[in-house]
Amino acid sequence: MPIRMEKDPALAELHVLAVDDNDYILRLVKMVVTDLGVAECLIARDAIEAMKILQANRGTINLMICDWNMPGITGVEFLRKLRADKLDMPFIMLTARADEGSVIAAKEVGVDAYLIKPFAPIQLEKKLKALVRGEEEVPADPFA
């Protein structure tokens, strides 16, 4: 059953890639962004799978939601690779890391928004809408 959320026409242009090793989180993210009216939400269970999806959809994906702690390549390492490859899309870090040091480290590698697990769907909605409007900036309050 979809969550009733306010659709924003600007979100209809988004092609999202969600990356997390937790299937529940992937389903939740996909449900929220789909209910918000994004054009597409693809999912990957790790950074390797995400890289393959990015290559197969070159130039289509324009927003990333990624877990920090994943087996193999972490979300931070993945973002460093994306930035080194000149893939400059908004990047939401999804993590259980709530300490100030992690927020600062995320900013240093180019994270655009920071969302702490567990999160409420409205928090993800606010982050997405703020990014689309150009309002979000790390280290904005990660608890908002």
Whether 141 is in a domain gets the answer no
Place of tokens 């992690």: 102
What is the average per-residue pLDDT within 81-93? 93
Is there a cis peptide before residue 139, judged by omega within 30 degrees of 0?
yes
Whether 121 is in a domain gets the answer yes
Whether 52 is in a domain gets the answer yes
CATH number at residue 85: 3.40.50.2300
Percentage of residues in the chain having pLDDT higher than 70: 90
For the chain, the 3-state helix, strand and coil shares in percent, each to the nearest 5, are 40, 15, 40
Whether 26 is in a domain gets the answer yes
pLDDT tier at 88, thresholds 50, 70, 90:
confident
Each residue's pLDDT tens digit, 19-40: 999 999 999 999 999 999 999 9
Give Cα 14 distance to the centre of its chain. Answer: 12
pLDDT tier at 123, thresholds 50, 70, 90:
very high
Whether 137 is in a domain gets the answer no
What is the average per-residue pLDDT within 80-95? 93
**Which residue would you say has higher pLDDT here, 61 or 144?**
61
**Which residue would you say has higher pLDDT here, 10 or 18?**
18
pLDDT (0 to 100) of residue 15: 97
Supply the pTM of this predicted model.
0.90
Each residue's pLDDT tens digit, 126-140: 999 999 888 765 555
Instruction: Please give the Cα distance from 61 to 14 (Å, whole number).
Output: 7
For the chain, the domain total comes to: 1
When computed from its CA atoms, the radius of gyration of the chain, rounded to whole angstroms, is 14
